[in-house]
Amino acid sequence: MIGIIGALSEEVEMLINMAEDKKEAEISGISFITGKLHGKKCVVAQCGIGKVNAAVCAQTMILRYKPDAVINCGVAGALRRGLKTGDIVVARDVVQYDMDTTEFGDRPGLLNIGKESMVEIQCGRELAGALMQACSFLGIDNAVTGRIATGDRFISKPEARAQIHELFEADACEMEGGAIAQACRLNGTPFAILRSISDSMDENSAEDYFTFKMHAAQSAARIISAFFERLP
């Protein structure tokens, strides 16, 4: 079974509609939809916006459904000029840019995950590779691997995005992936993050987000569907 988590209804609705043999259960205020995509078992959940919602959803999903892997899909904002609206970023790793214990001499973004300390949480290589192959299968030529930066802020100002990019060398920012990654790391569950760029590095990023988020979310969902179609 593969778990799929998205923050917004737009990010999971298409996948839920495509699923067969659906059953729904509500746990901790979150609806978990089990079923099959292209004949393969899945569980899909809309976690809501932000790191706490995402972590609660991921932990609940892992404990209740014990997925073989978890994929976080949805939209993200570009942190560098080379990324355009509609481009795809498959995470190589993820950081939490708003974690700050530098007053104690720590590196920016340093996390304590169980007995481990790290800034970058590595994503599952095989999962990331399979998602990139799904992009190729669909003829998508604007997909790249990169670093995702997660934090509890919607970053609209170009200077703020540039600062995160400079500090963490990240390619895109969002508000859930790092928390899902942390929960998965704690539980030893492989995970991946797939994001479609909804807003670019310009002064109109907030307007871009509301204009393009539906298209970007559906693009990510199509890739997830192709990923399931190609599973053995």
In a domain, 215, yes or no: yes
| pLDDT tens digits for range 129-146 | 999 999 999 999 999 999
Q: Has residue 232 been placed in a domain? A: no
Whether pLDDT at 205 is above 70:
no
Whether 129 is covered by a domain: the verdict is: yes
Q: Has residue 231 been placed in a domain?
A: no
d(CA 53, CA 201): 27
Q: Please, which pLDDT band fits residue 207 given cuts at 50, 70 and 90?
A: low
Q: Give the Cα separation of 212 and 198 in Å (integer).
A: 5
Quote the pLDDT of residue 215: 80
Catalytic residue chosen out of the listed positions 10, 11, 171, 176: 11
Q: Is the predicted pLDDT of residue 73 greater than 70, yes or no?
A: yes
21 labelled catalytic: no
pLDDT (0 to 100) of residue 112: 95
CA distances from 136 to 13, 17, 76, 154, 169 (A): 23, 24, 20, 30, 26
Q: Is 199 a catalytic residue?
A: yes
Q: pLDDT at position 208, please? A: 65
Q: Each residue of 46-66: pLDDT tens digit?
A: 999 999 999 999 999 999 999
Reported as a single tens digit per residue, the pLDDT across 146-188 is 999 999 999 888 889 999 999 999 999 999 999 999 999 999 9
- pLDDT score of 78 more than 80: yes
In a domain, 32, yes or no: yes
- 185: domain CATH number? 3.40.50.1580
List the catalytic residue out of 87, 171, 176, 199. Answer: 199
| Of 36, 145, 15, nearest in space to 6 by CA | 15
With 90 as the cut, is the pLDDT of residue 214 above it? no
90, 180, 175: which is closest to 127 by C-alpha?
Answer: 90
Provide the domain limits for residue 170.
2-225
Average pLDDT over residues 10-18: 92
Query: Would the pLDDT of 26 be above 70?
Result: yes
The closest of 111, 120, 105, 123 to 194, measured between CA atoms, is: 123
With b meaning 16 or more CB within 10 Å and e meaning fewer, what string describes 127-149?
Answer: bbebbbebbeebebeebebbbbb
What percentage of the chain exceeds 70 in pLDDT? Answer: 96
pLDDT at 132: 97
Average pLDDT taken over every residue of the chain: 94
**Is the confidence at residue 202, as pLDDT, over 70?**
no
Using pLDDT thresholds of 50, 70 and 90, give the confidence band for residue 229.
Answer: very high
pLDDT of 107 over the 60 cut: yes
* Domain count of the fold of the chain: 1
pLDDT above 70 (res 203) = no
> Which residue bears the tokens 């190729």?
136
Tell me, yes or no, whether 230 lies in a domain. no
In a domain, residue 145? The reply is yes
Residue 76 lies in a domain: yes
Residue closest to 127 by CA, chosen among 206, 170, 72: 72
What is the average pLDDT across 198-205? Answer: 72
